[in-house]
Amino acid sequence: PLNGTAQGDPDMIILNPVEQNINDINIFSSNLQVIKTKYLCIYMKTSDAPTFRINGAPPTGTFTPMPLGNGYSYLVENLTNYPGQSFRLTSTEGFNAMTYGMGDNESYGYSAGTNIKDLYQYVSINNQYATVNFPTACKGQDFNFSMTFPYQPTSINWQFNGLFPDVTINSPTPTSTSVVNSRTLYHYSLAGNYNAANAGTFPIKIVAQNPTADGCNGVQEIEYDLEVYDLPVGDFSFATSGCVNAPVNFTETNTVLTNRPIIRSFWNFGDNTSNNNITNPTHSYSAPGPFEVKHIIVTDVGCASDTARKTIIIPNPPVAAFNSTGPYCAGNPVSFVDGSTIGAGTIAKWIWDFGEGTPITVLTNATQTHTYNTAGTYNIKLIVESATGCR
């Protein structure tokens, strides 16, 4: 966008391939040289756009679907009035980004970055919840290795440098195939589950025999680092009056031993209901009882915490009861004797409605008397309230 007066300098920004996108990057949007307007452009899949954040908050602008309907959307965000000049851009999935600024005489623009990766040959770690696109695993949790080649190797040798026993596979059969940019890719999975006992960075080498056109065997070595992360620790506290149908407010008190962000929170409230991907939820129980609440968190590298468990007690509400003694004559006092009960805790309030005026509230179960000056039929009500406010 232009404001009609900015001259600036001509700039060209080379767009990155959508396959080599990023999902966590910091940019600097400068105000120097009398830059008057600053913008950020984002291009990403429409289905992932709701997860995009600027400094942890949703953008002020809205994503617009691309005209060709290719499943992607774009965002043009005006950064001019944002506080500060540094911005962290994040999403659960990848995006392409560029930022630029303009003044009367100066302008700038650059790509926010790219994830340089080989689209045709790469190592994969099968980790159920991971959203990052580099080889990661979690301490004490099972994972699987796989390797993708743009050719069919005659053998694959996995060298784990002591982390696991080395494995050699002769005449391997691809687990599956796919086509990328008209090239056939062959995917090879290493059988069995693997489990790392310690966190850390572990170098791994894959040696593949690549048959050449002249019949000679060519050796290719692929080296990479396996990142093994500690598990996060999920925990929570809760606040509640303990009443049926009253809200219970849960607050996460998680501990993450690494700098990896939490991307998912799983909750099981113990009453056949659950809630996923909600931080600090609120829940109410429609019946009394003990309920075991379970909570799990997952980081972006796919590490899931052990299940945090706590029991919430929702007692039965107090039961109001009373009887009365006469004589039931106009002008004579009638006595009302409390017979209310409570399973746990104490009753703190008795609210009497004698059927002919404003109810009264008393703080003891003492016998109440009331005189009816006019003969008739009166509907008597008693409400009792526990010390925690339950009725």
Look at residues 269, 291, 314 and tell me which one is the last residue of a structural domain.
Answer: 314
The sheet with strand 236-239 has its strands ordered as 236-239, 247-252, 282-284
| Cis previous bond, 67, omega within 30 | no
Q: How many domains does the chain have?
A: 4
Same domain, 195 and 160: yes
* CA dihedral of residues 259, 82, 95, 203 (deg, nearest 10): -20
Locate 354 and state its tokens.
Answer: 């004698």
Give yes or no for a contact between 39 and 1, defined as CB atoms under 8 angstroms apart: yes
Determine the pLDDT at residue 131: 80
pLDDT at 6 over 60: no
Same domain, 298 and 353: no
* CATH number of the structural domain spanning residue 300: 2.60.40.10
Same domain, 193 and 154: yes
**102 found inside a domain:** yes
**212 found inside a domain:** yes
Same domain, 303 and 369: no
Q: Provide the whole-model pTM.
A: 0.63
**159 found inside a domain:** yes
Question: What residues contact residue 8 under an 8 Å CB cut-off, 6+ apart?
Answer: 102, 103, 104, 105, 106, 107
**5 found inside a domain:** no
**13 found inside a domain:** no
Same domain, 190 and 94: no
Determine the pLDDT at residue 381: 94
Report pLDDT digits (tens) over 367-380: 999 999 999 999 99
**12 found inside a domain:** no
Report pLDDT digits (tens) over 228-252: 999 999 999 999 888 888 999 999 9
β-pair partners for 206: 158, 222
Which structural domain, as residue segments, surrounds residue 28? 18-111
CA distance 271 to 284: 10
β-pair partners for 65: 73
Mapping DSSP onto H, E and C, the string for 269-295 reads CCCCCEEECCCCCEEECCCCEEEEEEE
**31 found inside a domain:** yes
Locate 222 and state its tokens.
Answer: 């692929």
CA distance 283 to 245: 9
* Lowest model confidence (mean pLDDT) among 6-15, 19-28, 46-55, 308-317: 6-15
pLDDT at 280 over 70: yes
Give yes or no for a contact between 175 and 188, defined as CB atoms under 8 angstroms apart: yes
Give yes or no for a contact between 218 and 211, defined as CB atoms under 8 angstroms apart: yes
Same domain, 143 and 220: yes
Give yes or no for a contact between 256 and 299, defined as CB atoms under 8 angstroms apart: yes
Q: What is the mean pLDDT of the chain?
A: 89
**10 found inside a domain:** no
SS3 assignment, position 128: coil
